[in-house]
Amino acid sequence: MTRTAGELAKFLGVEIDGDANSPVSGIAAPPRAGASDLIYLESPKHAESAAASAARCVVAQPGVRLPGKTIIRAQDPKLAFAKAAAWLLPKATLAPGIHPTAVVAASAELAPDVSVGPYVVIEEEVQVGAATSIEAFCFVGRGVRLGENCRLHSRVTLYEGVRLGNRAEVHAGAVIGSDGFGYVFGDGRHWKFPQIGVVEIGDDVEIGANTTIDRGSLETTTIARGVKIDNLVQIAHNVRIGEHSILAAQTGVSGSSTLGKHVIVAGQVGIADHCILEDGAVAGAQAGIPTGKTIRHRQTVWGTPARPLEKFKEQYAWFAHLPELAERVRRLERRKPARASRAKSRK
């Protein structure tokens, strides 16, 4: 869809400097942009690349000068660019209707404009809200509730009783509602602990490809509004994740841990059971958080076991000096017998 720079500035609620009639029809990185593509300048160090770009329209901070460009001025250019992209290039929607190869139970309730793709299975007592799309080979288990404007990409599996809010998006291969990993050892064997809870996922949640979210054991696994979960993440039973938190790829969250609001968990972080990450906490990449540990409000931790960032950096700096420190110790050890021999001869 082609818009003008003036229309875009009005949509974003910001000022424009330059030709308000300049057409804008797409987005791109500066080196690949065409004349009608929108680009953004987040840092002055990239000004040369933006100036050399074929793009006529740039999102940049107030005060930035780019001769010959129309500038949409925003305090946060990256955020404004993301909003502009969603406006210029809305996601394609699937045509409403149920593919003839889909299997839909008679008791399932689907809104009239729902899209159901090839070989989808929808079991008894499922409810699907308006404008929701379920792509090929998805499985929607008994009693699942899907809100409005949701999108399940291909091969998503929703076990019995899972609940998704409005505008939730689940990417290919994700499994939600599988049994948690809970066993009790006795009489010489492992006995499975009941896994009869549910999974509740709030509005505007996005879940990455091949991520797994286990149902609660006797309680509920809860993913609150606005949470974004990357690919290949494991969320165990009874975990609670607060609003607008982010979990990067290959992270694992063990059972009964709680993450507050606006928590950031980087890639390959391991969070053991019964941990608490308070609002605004940050766990750096590959951090290991041991059982029962609490990460305080807005605290940043790194390393294994996880520790405050400043302490981690200090210790890491010492690690770099270990070889030379070891050599100093070896020299001291070699000198020790010589000193002992001299002291003995004096006696």
Return the active site residues: 237
Q: What is the number of other CB atoms lying within 10 angstroms of the CB of residue 273?
A: 16
Nearest-angstrom CA–CA distance, 261 and 81:
25
> Which tokens is 258 given?
């709680």
- Give the residue from 282, 289, 246, 250 showing the smallest Cα distance to 267: 250
What sign has the CA pseudo-torsion 121, 238, 196, 164?
negative
Burial class (CB in 10 A: 0-12, 13-18, 19+), 216: buried
- Give the residue from 115, 110, 111, 123 showing the smallest Cα distance to 160: 123
Q: 339 phi and psi, to 5 degrees?
A: -65, -40
Residue 124 contacts residue 105 (beta carbons within 8 Å): yes
